[in-house]
Amino acid sequence: MKTSLWRRNSMRKIGTITTAISFIFLGVALLLSKFNGDLAYTLFKFWPMMIIVLGLEFLYISYKNKDEAKSYKFSFLTIFVLIVFLITDSAWGLFRSIDFESLKSQIENSIGYSNTNKVAFRVEKELSKARIILRANNADIDIKPSKEKKLIFDGYIQAKNNKGIDETDTYFREEADKLTLDLNREPIGGIEGTLYVPNGISIEIIVNNGKIESEEDLSNAVMIVDSKNAYVNLKNLKEAHIKNSNGDIEISNINDSSIENVNGSVKVNGNSENVDIDNKNGAVIIDNDISRNIKVRSNTGDIRLSSDSADAVLKATTDYGNIRLNGNTLSENKQNLNKTLGNGNGNINIWTKSGDIDIEMKE
């Protein structure tokens, strides 16, 4: 009789099943991370399901023991595991958002740059190649059209440890259809100046830390920028293709452009009809004379599109945010907008995971 009474009033522990499932879930995620880190991270984002499992376990045990005393205790181990999941999720997300290679490069270059002296520097070479490549670290570059068929850099370099400068021809390298100007080598710690290039040529800039600008007319030129920790401002080009991390990007009056950016805002204006933007973290602002073929993807950040004229099928989606069309908020959260503007000859596709989409244009 005493045993039966003790059983009816005993305390029930909740969480044993949840803890077991949590360990299985964690093991699968860790095993998967050895082969596919992105897929493992996506799977781990579903860890809040363990809270649902805990709730279901509580309901099941409560129902199973409904005729006995309703005294329950959550397992300390279960609560601990859920806290570990929460901390791991936050830390994993932060870890993935940091570009460690870029950070390392920035620190190394800053250390090297601090022990330098400024030296006037000019190099030039007759151009017989269809492509130009410039490599540099700690670079402040203004790109302008050359009046001659030459590649010219005119400015200053930071010479490390007061070392002398090599003969200028040693910085050039010719291969097949390209000419490379390599200023990312000893004793150069940084550069500052103007790069003169012929209009109508393909230019590739590879830079860690700095600023790249091109504002004068190079309307027949194609520019490719691969940069880290840089501000990029390009105007009046035929095409521009930019891949950057940690820095803002601005382009204007470029007919065809593609931009990949991590941590920084992207601004597009003027007459830039064909635009493809993938921005991981930061606002995207497009203020165009005419919008026809535009594709924007953003993980975190608001997107604003303003245009005097549009001729496209517009599709806009935000998972967590609002969509406003000409000042009118359509609805709250997780929404889609599909609309034909003008004759619908182009496509405007806008998506953000977390952020508002604001569209201002004539319908």
**Separation between Cα atoms, residue 219 and residue 310, nearest integer Å:** 23
pTM: 0.69
Which residues are CB-contacts of 244 (< 8 A; sequence separation ≥ 6)? 225, 226, 227, 228, 230, 232, 259, 260, 261, 262, 264
Which stretch of 91-105, 123-137, 181-195, 274-288 has the lowest confidence by average pLDDT?
A: 91-105
Residues 283 and 334 in one domain: yes
Give the model's pLDDT for residue 332. Answer: 54
Nearest to 122 by CA among 145, 147, 150, 161: 150
Residues 266-284: pLDDT tens digits? 999 988 889 999 998 899 9
- Average the pLDDT over 172-191 and give the result: 87
Residue 92 lies in a domain: yes
**Last residue in a domain, options 226, 254, 282:** 254
The mean predicted confidence, pLDDT, of the chain is: 82
Residues 189 and 131 in one domain: yes
Residue 107 lies in a domain: no
Indicate whether 82 pLDDT > 50: yes
Residues 129 and 86 in one domain: no
Band of the pLDDT at 167, cuts 50, 70, 90?
low
Give the model's pLDDT for residue 80. Answer: 85
Residue 109 lies in a domain: no
**Separation between Cα atoms, residue 12 and residue 21, nearest integer Å:** 19
Residues 92 and 119 in one domain: no
Residues 122 and 227 in one domain: yes
For residue 127, the enclosing domain spans: 115-254
Residues 171 and 272 in one domain: no
Give the model's pLDDT for residue 181. Answer: 92
Give the model's pLDDT for residue 346. Answer: 87
Token couple for 179? 């000419």
Give the model's pLDDT for residue 13. Answer: 74
Q: Report the share of the chain in percent with pLDDT over 90.
A: 33
Give the model's pLDDT for residue 253. Answer: 93
Residues 316-362: pLDDT tens digits? 998 888 898 888 877 555 578 888 888 888 899 999 988 899 998 86
Indicate whether 6 pLDDT > 50: no
Distances (CA, A) of 17 to 58, 66, 80: 10, 19, 14
Give the model's pLDDT for residue 55. Answer: 82
Band of the pLDDT at 4, cuts 50, 70, 90?
very low
Token couple for 69? 């005393």
**Last residue in a domain, options 224, 254, 284:** 254
Residues 217 and 140 in one domain: yes
**Separation between Cα atoms, residue 358 and residue 348, nearest integer Å:** 13
Q: Please, what sign has the CA dihedral across residues 35, 41, 46, 51?
A: positive
Residues 157 and 244 in one domain: yes
Structurally, the chain folds into a number of domains equal to 3
Residues 127 and 246 in one domain: yes
Give the model's pLDDT for residue 304. Answer: 94
Indicate whether 34 pLDDT > 80: no
Residues 83 and 151 in one domain: no
**Last residue in a domain, options 225, 254, 283:** 254
Band of the pLDDT at 154, cuts 50, 70, 90?
very high
Residue 217 lies in a domain: yes
Residue 108 lies in a domain: no
**Separation between Cα atoms, residue 47 and residue 24, nearest integer Å:** 12
- Average the pLDDT over 125-137 and give the result: 89
Which residues on adjacent β-strands are paired with residue 277?
259, 296
Q: Report the share of the chain in percent with pLDDT over 70.
A: 83
Token couple for 328? 């009118």
Instruction: Give 109: exposed, middle or buried? Use CB within 10 Å, 0-12, 13-18, 19+.
Output: buried
Distances (CA, A) of 54 to 45, 47, 76, 81, 89: 17, 12, 13, 12, 19
Question: In this structure, are residues 25 and 87 in contact, taking their beta carbons and an 8 Å threshold?
Answer: no
Place of tokens 């130009």: 132
Residues 199-223: pLDDT tens digits? 889 999 999 999 999 989 899 999 9
Residue 259 lies in a domain: no
